[in-house]
Structure 1
Amino acid sequence: MTPMKEDYLKIIFELGGKQKKVSNKQIAISLNIAAGSVTEMVNKMAAEGLAEHTPYAGISLTSKGIRLAEDLVRKHRIWEDFLVEKLGYELPDVHDEAEVLEHVTSPKLVNALDDMLGHPTHCPHGGVIPDRFGHYHEDSHTVLNDAKDGSVVTVDRFIDNHDLLTYLGDLKLDIGDQLKIEKHDPFEGPVTVRNLTDDAELIVSYKAAHYIFVK
């Protein structure tokens, strides 16, 4: 399986494709690629039995796709936890390293890392880590951009993206922060929120608001 196809499996899983249909637009935004490329790959995945695609509704993972995605996500996020906790990596820098390491990691090695780390349930950016038996609690799949004006939400996790994590570090937005949604600007404009945890107003870009999951 190609690394790009693996990236699609992981992002569809992360966006909630185990339980619901994920739109091509969501995938394109999250992977920062053209919508046409998404359509081509989605059709390939459907032909290989990894996903089910319904035109104009979106894509979800099949049982086969879910099993592969869970295995990839487990390896990737355990390596991220190791790099941050044991080697002192900064959060924005772990994704690329974990991408390389996950492809050369045997089940024995990932289980040994898991034991050493104390069986973490979430990676440093909030993503769930399936245990060695495939058990885990589902993450929130509501993105900040979909939260209603006037509502109060809690930051649950971030998409694993270097530029995003650097941007959020500059904004001083952290997992666990409580946000009051003040307004969505029209025409794909930013989302203005008040960070109730830090008592600060933040303006979050339209794209970043699709990378931040809240509950």
Structure 2
Amino acid sequence: MQPDAPAPLTFGMLVFDEVEVLDAGGPFEVFSTAGRLARTADDEPLLRVVTVAAADRRVRARGGLTIVADHTLRDDPPFDVLVIPGGVTTAVEADADVVDWLDRRRRTSALTFSICTGAFLLAATGALDGRPAATHWEDQEELARRRPRIDVRTDVRWVDDGDIVTSAGISAGIDAALHIVGRLFGRQLALRTARQMEYTWRTDHASEVRT
């Protein structure tokens, strides 16, 4: 008897004004490339990504790149994995609608993944209290000062704590995204994805807390 094929998964990625381009684009590329490489029996991608804007669908990313999101928070689209990139997060952290949405959606998601300073947005929901987490090296002290209940890990590319994965800064999000692909769909797909992207996947300096 053949084992059941993995179920397709949708990744829902929050985007907002001043989001870091590679925080969003790196994991987006990993998940979308993996989806092209692995398909269901109906020839549908095994992974797909939808983007959700905090307010207006038209978002101006850090550096001036314009992103037009698939949805807004009001649409509240269905997805399985919540992805929270970083960037300049001050305004978004102060937006109660965004924080409430993140809190609700991370509770109903199979997995939540923050990249870089996206950890500050996840921390605003209280989800990281009493747990280990990673963020950009430049922001580790600030996260620890503002959220002393978080075990802020240094010198790691990512932390896998079961239902929450957090990564260090910017390009580390690519490594963590490949780790997530490997965790959910097998290491061979992660390796194929890295090769397709011509990316050298760094698996050193990672922390897996989950049992």
- Given the two structures, how large is their TM-score scaled by the length of structure 2? 0.30
Structure possessing the higher radius of gyration over alpha carbons: 1
Structure with more of its chain in strand, by fraction: 2
Higher RCO structure (Cα 8 Å, ≥6 apart) = 2
More helix by share: 1
TM-score, structure 1 normalization: 0.30
